Structures are given as structure tokens and as C-alpha cells.
């Protein structure tokens, strides 16, 4: 069964190392800020930084969470990220498997 997923997002973050990627994933999943975190590596990034074109090998993190948890997740990523300006962007999920979306919602309920 498929349903509207407007309250769920995929958060994309890039990191410079496997250790940083694993640390960030453990932190956000462990605090239930994301239901899961996938590490995709390597990727090649080309970007402007300090007036020059830069190239870096990075790792891409894909995290699934709810829109309501995004701000707390982004704060936690910034606290443990090595970049001065880390990529932390949320892409809305449009539709999805109902069971999967329900799982995301359940696993990101704040705990005390």
C-alpha cells in the first residue's frame, strides 16, 4: 500500500571520512533523530569554496526522518561535523510504502 509521505524527509549530508560518517550516523540514529542512515561512498564533489573550484572525495549520508525532527537532527550533525559549512538538506518524500513510512514515524518519536 502507498500513501502520502509529506511529513517524512530524506536528509542528505556529506562527510570527508568514513569515521566521521559513522560517528554522525550513530549519533542521529542513537538519539532517534533519524530512523536510519545509509553511507554511500565514495562520491566526487566539485564545488566553489573560498573563490576557487574545489574537488573532494566525500561520503554521502542519506537519513530518513520526519520534518518535525529535522531541526534537532541538523543541530546534532552541525555539532559533530568537521566542515565549516556542512551540507545538511532535507528532500521531501512524496509517496511511499505505508509500512516503511510508519516505521520512520515510530522510530523517530522522541524518547526521554
* Residue 112 in domain: no
**CA-based nearest residue to 65, from 6, 112, 105:** 105
pLDDT tens-digit profile, the chain (112 residues): 888 889 999 999 999 999 999 999 999 999 999 999 999 999 999 999 999 999 999 999 999 999 999 999 999 999 999 999 999 999 999 999 999 999 999 999 998 7
* Cell numbers given for 27: 549519533
Looking at residue 23, what is its pLDDT? 98
Strands annotated E in 1-112: 2-4, 8-15, 36-49, 52-66, 88-92, 95-97
Is 94 among the domain residues? yes
Confirm whether 20 is domain-assigned.
yes
Domain span including residue 97: 2-107
Distances from the Cα of 9 to the Cα of 26, 37, 51, 92, angstroms? 19, 12, 32, 4
78 in a structural domain: yes
> Measured between alpha carbons, how far is 99 from 81 in angstroms, rounded to an integer?
32
- Domain with residue 20: its CATH number is 3.30.70.120
Number of domains in the chain: 1
Query: Is 40 a member of any domain?
Result: yes
The cell numbers describing 107, all together, are 522510530
User: pLDDT value at position 51?
Assistant: 98
**For residue 76, which of 106, 40, 108 has the smallest C-alpha distance?**
108
Amino acid at each position: 500500500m502507498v500513501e502520502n509521505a509529506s511529513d517524512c524527509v530524506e536528509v542528505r549530508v556529506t562527510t570527508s571520512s568514513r569515521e566521521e560518517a559513522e560517528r554522525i550516523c550513530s549519533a542521529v540514529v542513537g538519539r532517534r533523530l533519524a530512523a536510519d542512515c545509509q553511507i554511500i561512498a565514495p562520491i566526487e564533489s566539485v564545488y566553489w569554496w573560498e573563490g576557487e573550484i574545489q574537488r573532494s572525495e566525500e561520503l554521502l549520508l542519506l537519513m530518513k526522518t520526519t520534518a518535525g525532527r529535522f531541526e534537532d537532527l541538523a543541530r546534532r550533525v552541525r555539532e559533530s561535523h568537521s566542515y565549516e559549512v556542512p551540507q545538511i538538506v532535507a528532500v521531501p518524500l512524496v509517496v511511499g510504502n505505508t509500512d516503511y513510512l510508519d516505521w520512520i514515524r515510530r522510530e523517530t518519536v522522541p524518547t526521554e
